Amino acid sequence: MNICVVGTGYVGLVTGAVFADLGNDVVCVDNVASKIEALRAGQMPIYEPGLEEMVARNVADGRLSFTTDLAAAVRRSVIVFITVGTPAKDTGQTDLAAVDDVAREIAQAMERYTVIVNKSTVPVGTGERVREVIERHQTSPVPFDVVSNPEFLREGSAIEDTLRPDRIVIGAPTQQVAMTLLELYAPLERPMIITDVPSAEMIKYASNAFLATKISFANAIANLCEMAGADVSQVTKGMGLDARIGPAFLSAGLGYGGSCFPKDTDSLIHTAATLGYEFALLRAAVEVNRERSGHFVALVEKALAPLDGKTVAVLGLAFKPNTDDMREAKSVEVITRLLTLGASVRAYDPVAIPNAATVLPQDTVFCDSPYAAAEQADAVALVTEWNEFKFLNLERLRKVMRRPLILDGRNLWEPERMRRLGFEYHSIGRKPVAPA
């Protein structure tokens, strides 16, 4: 099929690359000329394992191209995916300006029947909104349909999630238009669910809100475990073995961040309020998450008091491993607060330092290895659980530190092992240990 993907962020670029890899002829469109030029030169705007190789392969084979000419891309395509950004406004409402702009340009460019697919995360009702925008701006009546096909990608494993998703959700106005998407996705041989458009839009938000609530529940239990002397790792393991609950998203730590969960929970709360429903449960989950960074900094402050003049090495800056995305990253809150309290911060991340340097306070010192960051540090604070940190030479780490104190915001290491290695070790929802 000839496919147009509008937007070359995480969703658009991965979607375009995977569809091209499946044998389709895909053109990715973006209105930022420098971004398109970089992509044509093989330079990725994001860090995502395996993406650069997939893009290069399909560009070389002639199945994937990049352009700023949306009108030409629309006219050559039978399916147009909208994958532009939908950021949150200060009120929590989703900003649909970019979606509206793209819908308007699609309307002016269409010359034959086209399927327009909303793949951006958008509130319920957006499919109807896009349909109205297109009808209003068509220069001459051309038939089209608007479909909702929400994405469920996790940054750091986006290609795997696109090739082997748990489910493919297609919200379509008719069975006939749904078949067009079914044909496109058929090579993946994954479970598909066909719904009406509003239900598909709601599935995306309901899924993310539930996972965010699950994370916040685990963190609330961690708070209780700290007070009661229980071990949250054992508690959540016992919970997760219940098939009705499952182990995913039950890890206690610094809470969720990134481009999806914070924005989507706020958006769903706003949508609920617009419809006349007070979503108290989800508000509580958001509030628990909002407290996590402060809770962790309080742990650091208590262990090091006073913080003034102390040096803290922060390991991990991206909001999660295997990405360079700093959106809603907990490291920003943690480091800003530590600096405000008088500490010096030396930071390391395997890939996110260039992006981190644009959002972290200027007083932050960036290092080229975890050991360099820990040099003469009074404490190491682990913020993002990169696999690299799991396999650190901890004896070497201890030797370069001024004080062998580790504060683990992700429960990456086992307390007893850290005790044997000579560390004072504090983690989330577990008893602190002193060196042997």
The residues assigned a catalytic role are 260
DSSP bridge pairs for 2: 25
Q: Report the 3 state secondary structure along the chain.
A: CEEEEECCCHHHHHHHHHHHHCCCEEEEECCCHHHHHHHHCCCCCCCCCCHHHHHHHHHHCCCEEEECCHHHHHHCCCEEEECCCCCECCCCCECCHHHHHHHHHHHHHCCCCEEEEECCCCCCCHHHHHHHHHHHHCCCCCCEEEEECCCCCCCCCHHHHHHCCCCEEEECCCHHHHHHHHHHHHHHCCCEEEECHHHHHHHHHHHHHHHHHHHHHHHHHHHHHHHHCCCHHHHHHHHHCCCCCCCCCCCCCCCCCCCCHHHHHHHHHHHHHHCCCCCHHHHHHHHHHHCHHHHHHHHHHHHHCCCCCCEEEEECCCCCCCCCCCCCCHHHHHHHHHHHCCCEEEEECCCCHHHHCCCCCCCCEECCCHHHHHCCCCEEEECCCCHHHHCCCHHHHHHHCCCCEEEECCCCCCHHHHHHCCCEEECCCCCCECCC
Please report, as a single letter, which amino acid is at residue 413: W
